Amino acid sequence: MKLIYQTRVTNIGNSATAFLGEKMIILFKDNAPEELADYCILHSGNQVLQAVRAGDILRIGNQEYAILYVGDEVEANLSNLGHITLRFNGAKEGLGGSIYLEDKVMPEIEIGDEIAIFRS
């Protein structure tokens, strides 16, 4: 499998779980603005090796999710800010700054977990 993107969770905002009911996780590089950091999963890097696309696999810790749709702002937002929204709802279209994933049990993210995207 070819690595497309890789980072590591450095902090979990106190209100990051507020969006779990909507099957959403918000990622932001660990230099996120203070007013946003509390709602985000913060991570250490944002080097995107290739454009993320539908059919790639997202891995968080030891759980994998098929990527169904990639919004048109994901590459720029991820590269520049490390900021995207992961949506675990099975949708095959949606908002520009989001990656849409298969609808299955969401991961329980912990500090130190790796977040990676691979291509077969």
> Which CATH number does the domain housing residue 106 bear?
2.40.33.40
Give the Cα separation of 13 and 42 in Å (integer).
7
Count of domains forming the chain? 1
Give the Cα separation of 20 and 33 in Å (integer).
21
Alpha-carbon distance values, 69 to 63, 65, 81, 85, 97 (Å): 18, 12, 20, 12, 11
Q: What are the residue numbers of the active site? A: 43
How distant is the alpha carbon of residue 98 from its chain centre?
Answer: 8
> What's the domain range around 53?
2-119
pTM assigned to the model: 0.95
pLDDT value of residue 46: 75
pLDDT value of residue 62: 92
pLDDT value of residue 114: 96
Task: Give per-10-residue mean pLDDT for the chain (120 aa).
Answer: 96 94 96 92 90 97 96 94 96 96 95 96
